């Protein structure tokens, strides 16, 4: 049975490749591939569960491949199956079947029909990667892919302003969760001095409690709770969930009503053996869940749009699941997850029909409601809930605005001569760091911190830069040079192959992205970041290639840079707080800058008047 686990990932992934490479865009051919995938997925999930049940329901673990291994680090693809995986796989396959069947008719004659099912099949692959992950590295692959699929589907109607804006807002939250999960992996490696699987988390937790490494343990648990909170849209990150409903109703159902939004609950269930004896962690999770349940319920009751109501209702139920996980009611959580997922999927799929009926009913049977006296407290709650407790503006003001302010203060980096000098300096420092590392005077980690600070400064400037997209794209490559140099100077010795993993992956992505931007710039010499251009109308293939380049430059699992970043993280020691904070911020804003360039140049309303124009009010 161990060998069959790979089929959970292979079935949707091969179907994704088939639809992606299928030149015929006819709905019948694509629908047939999707139909085979969804039926095979259900049969695989149910058959495997029944056989596993008969064999005694013992957890199954299987290492599929080792991508990279040294004396201190192992990057392996490991799969794991237990009762949590069983429930999530069966529910996920059934919901995928329902949504795919519904979408066949709902997306009929839509120009993005093929693109929609490409993304849904890739999401199914990512979902199975997550729920079958046997270690953090495997889970992180699925975690990254799922985030990209979510971004693509939120911005599905890419010729409009609001879907593009809200896709960027969602991916900004996702990136924080990605980096937090990377930090949890990094600190877990320093705590256990090896790459451990999820089946060993209980032992690692007991070792952590019995040792003097309480600071490391607290950090790991916080970096587990944070991505779980963000992905499941819990307080204070709840506001991104209704914004993510900009995509097609079918994608909203599978992503934000049922499967994807429960991934945070899955992460807490999977890592529960590590923190189950830590009372403070349980209290934090219970508080997050309770606050979200109360606040989201109040907001959902007064929202004027059906998708927003369902989004906040789902977040409220997930808040209760957080409480159930913390108190150890895991079977109740699994039942709660299944019930909430099916209910929200049903509500979203029937919402267009229900709205049509309600409008018809209101037109013919409208009754003026009676006026009731209201207390100031009830009115205050009502107004706060209508405004969604200003969570969106609070997050923008206190989380993102300070970094934008810093980036604007670094306007002197806009000099072409200065950025050229910085790029050359970064390359020279990287070479010197590797070849003459032992000859450099011992400065502690001051030199590494300085180089990482320069990298962050360059990235923040690129993040707010409003002129040439080519220039902003070059800044990202310059920042990567300083990041690698900082790690090389920080470590006693870094293997050349590990630097090449990182550098070649990023360089290939940079060259591809530069080619795409240069091609767009040749059209009318205008690729400023001060507005949306919407070039995806005319340059669909170029837009897709630039998306691939943007994913590659941030370390997405399509190049060796994905392994290189994970390996280089291990060369930062657990007590180098400033260095790891700067490095984490670099990786957060590299993705945001790359995706900002993508959205501004290729997505949004087209600047030419001979194309359909979607105004902000759309």
pLDDT confidence of residue 445: 78
What is the per-residue pLDDT across 340-356, written as a single tens digit (0 to 9) for each? 999 999 988 888 888 77
**Cβ–Cβ < 8 Å for 573, 190:** yes
Q: Which of the four pLDDT bands, split at 50, 70 and 90, describes residue 425?
A: confident
pLDDT higher than threshold 80 for residue 1: no
Q: Which structure tokens are listed for 354?
A: 């229900």
* Helix ranges (DSSP H) in 232-368: 240-243, 249-252, 263-275, 279-300, 306-326, 330-365
- For range 180-191, the mean pLDDT: 90
Q: Higher confidence at residue 568 or residue 132?
A: 132
What is the per-residue pLDDT across 68-91, written as a single tens digit (0 to 9) for each? 887 777 888 899 999 999 999 999
Q: Is the pTM of this model over 0.85?
A: yes
Report CA-CA distances (Å) from 478 to 440, 462, 578.
22, 11, 21
pLDDT higher than threshold 70 for residue 336: yes
Distance CA 22, CA 267 (A): 35
**What secondary structure letter does DSSP report for 443?**
B
pLDDT confidence of residue 609: 62
Alpha-carbon Rg for the chain in angstroms:
24
pLDDT confidence of residue 340: 92
pLDDT confidence of residue 442: 59
Q: Which of the four pLDDT bands, split at 50, 70 and 90, describes residue 492?
A: confident
Q: Higher confidence at residue 181 or residue 490?
A: 181
pLDDT confidence of residue 439: 58
Terminal CA-CA length for the chain: 51
- For range 498-522, the mean pLDDT: 91
Distance CA 93, CA 107 (A): 20
Report CA-CA distances (Å) from 571 to 65, 430, 479, 507, 576.
23, 15, 18, 21, 10
pLDDT higher than threshold 60 for residue 591: yes
pLDDT higher than threshold 80 for residue 121: yes
Mean pLDDT of the chain: 87
What is the per-residue pLDDT across 346-384, written as a single tens digit (0 to 9) for each? 988 888 888 778 777 777 888 887 887 878 888 888 898
The CA-based angle 164-168-173, given to 5 degrees, is: 150
pLDDT confidence of residue 600: 93
**Cβ–Cβ < 8 Å for 605, 159:** yes
pLDDT confidence of residue 519: 93
The proportion of the chain whose per-residue pLDDT surpasses 90, expressed as a percent, equals: 44
Q: Higher confidence at residue 316 or residue 194?
A: 316
Q: Higher confidence at residue 438 or residue 280?
A: 280
pLDDT higher than threshold 80 for residue 285: yes
State whether residue 197 is helix, strand or coil: strand
- For range 41-58, the mean pLDDT: 90
What is the per-residue pLDDT across 445-485, written as a single tens digit (0 to 9) for each? 788 899 999 999 999 999 999 989 999 999 999 999 999 98
Q: What are phi and psi of 340, to 5 degrees?
A: -65, -40
Distance CA 521, CA 121 (A): 33
pLDDT confidence of residue 616: 47
Q: Which of the four pLDDT bands, split at 50, 70 and 90, describes residue 437?
A: low
Distance CA 553, CA 570 (A): 20
pLDDT higher than threshold 70 for residue 329: yes
Q: Which residues contact 62 (CB under 8 A, 6 or more apart)?
A: 2, 3, 5, 6, 78, 79, 80, 134
- For range 234-261, the mean pLDDT: 87
Report CA-CA distances (Å) from 606 to 102, 477, 598.
31, 28, 14
- For range 565-593, the mean pLDDT: 89
Q: Which of the four pLDDT bands, split at 50, 70 and 90, describes residue 618?
A: very low
Q: Higher confidence at residue 601 or residue 490?
A: 601
pLDDT higher than threshold 80 for residue 443: no
Q: Which structure tokens are listed for 270?
A: 């999977």
- For range 188-200, the mean pLDDT: 84
Distance CA 80, CA 443 (A): 44
Region label for 532, one of left (φ > 0), alpha (ψ between -120 and 50) or beta (otherwise) = beta
**Cβ–Cβ < 8 Å for 561, 552:** yes
pLDDT confidence of residue 2: 74
């Amino acid at each position: 049975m161990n060998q069959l686990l790979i089929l959970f990932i292979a079935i949707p992934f091969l179907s994704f490749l088939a639809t992606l490479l299928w030149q015929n865009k006819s709905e019948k051919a694509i629908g047939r591939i999707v139909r085979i995938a969804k039926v095979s997925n259900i049969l695989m999930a149910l058959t495997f569960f029944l056989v596993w049940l008969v064999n005694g329901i013992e957890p199954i673990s299987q290492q599929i491949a080792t991508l990279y291994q040294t004396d201190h680090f192992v990057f392996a693809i490991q799969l794991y199956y237990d009762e949590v995986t069983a429930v999530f796989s069966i529910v996920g396959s059934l919901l995928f079947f329902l949504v795919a069947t519904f979408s066949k008719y709902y997306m009929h004659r839509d120009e993005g029909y093929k693109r929609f099912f490409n993304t849904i099949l890739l999401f199914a692959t990512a979902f199975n990667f997550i729920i079958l992950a046997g270690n953090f590295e495997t889970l992180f692959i699925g975690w990254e892919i799922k985030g990209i699929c979510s971004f693509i589907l939120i911005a599905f109607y890419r010729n409009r302003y609001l879907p593009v804006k809200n896709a960027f807002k969602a991916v900004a939250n996702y990136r924080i969760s990605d980096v937090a999960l990377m930090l949890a992996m990094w600190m877990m490696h320093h705590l256990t001095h090896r790459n451990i699987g999820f089946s060993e988390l209980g032992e690692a937790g007991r070792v952590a409690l019995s040792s003097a490494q309480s600071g490391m343990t607290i950090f790991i648990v916080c970096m587990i709770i944070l991505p779980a909170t963000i992905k499941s849209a819990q307080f204070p990150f709840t506001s991104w969930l209704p914004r993510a409903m900009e995509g097609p109703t079918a994608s909203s159902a599978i992503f934000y009503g049922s499967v994807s939004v429960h991934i945070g609950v899955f992460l807490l269930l999977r890592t529960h053996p590590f923190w189950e004896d830590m009372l403070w962690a349980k209290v934090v999770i219970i508080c997050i869940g309770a606050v979200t349940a109360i606040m989201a319920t109040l907001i959902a009751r007064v929202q004027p749009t059906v998708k927003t109501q369902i989004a906040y209702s789902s977040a409220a139920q997930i808040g209760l699941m957080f409480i159930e996980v913390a108190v150890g009611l895991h079977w109740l959580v699994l039942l709660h997850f299944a019930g909430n997922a099916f209910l929200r999927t049903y509500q979203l799929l029937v919402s267009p029909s229900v709205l049509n009926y309600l409008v018809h009913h209101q037109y013919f049977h409208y009754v003026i409601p009676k006026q009731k006296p209201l207390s100031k407290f009830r009115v205050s709650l009502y107004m706060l809930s209508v405004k969604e407790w200003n969570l969106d503006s609070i997050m923008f003001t206190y989380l993102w605005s300070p970094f934008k302010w810093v980036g604007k203060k670094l306007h002197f980096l806009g000099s072409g001569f200065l950025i050229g000098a910085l790029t050359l300096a970064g390359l020279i420092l990287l070479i010197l760091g590797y070849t003459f590392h032992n000859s450099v005077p011992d400065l502690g980690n001051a030199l590494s911190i300085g180089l990482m600070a320069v990298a962050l400064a360059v990235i923040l400037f690129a993040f707010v830069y409003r002129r040439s997209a080519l220039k902003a794209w070059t800044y990202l490559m310059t920042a990567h040079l300083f990041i690698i140099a900082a790690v090389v100077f920080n470590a006693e010795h870094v293997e050349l192959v590990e630097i090449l993993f990182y550098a070649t992956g990023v360089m290939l992505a940079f060259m591809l992205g530069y080619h795409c931007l240069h091609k767009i710039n040749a059209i009318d010499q205008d690729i400023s970041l001060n507005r949306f251009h919407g070039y995806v109308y005319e340059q669909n293939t170029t837009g897709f290639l630039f998306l691939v380049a943007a994913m590659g430059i941030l370390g997405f699992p399509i190049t060796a840079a994905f392994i290189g970043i994970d390996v280089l993280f291990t060369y930062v020691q657990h007590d180098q707080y400033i260095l790891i904070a700067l490095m984490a911020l670099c990786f957060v804003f590299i993705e945001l800058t790359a995706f900002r360039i993508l959205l501004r140049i290729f997505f949004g309303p087209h600047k030419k008047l001979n194309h359909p124009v979607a105004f902000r009010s759309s």
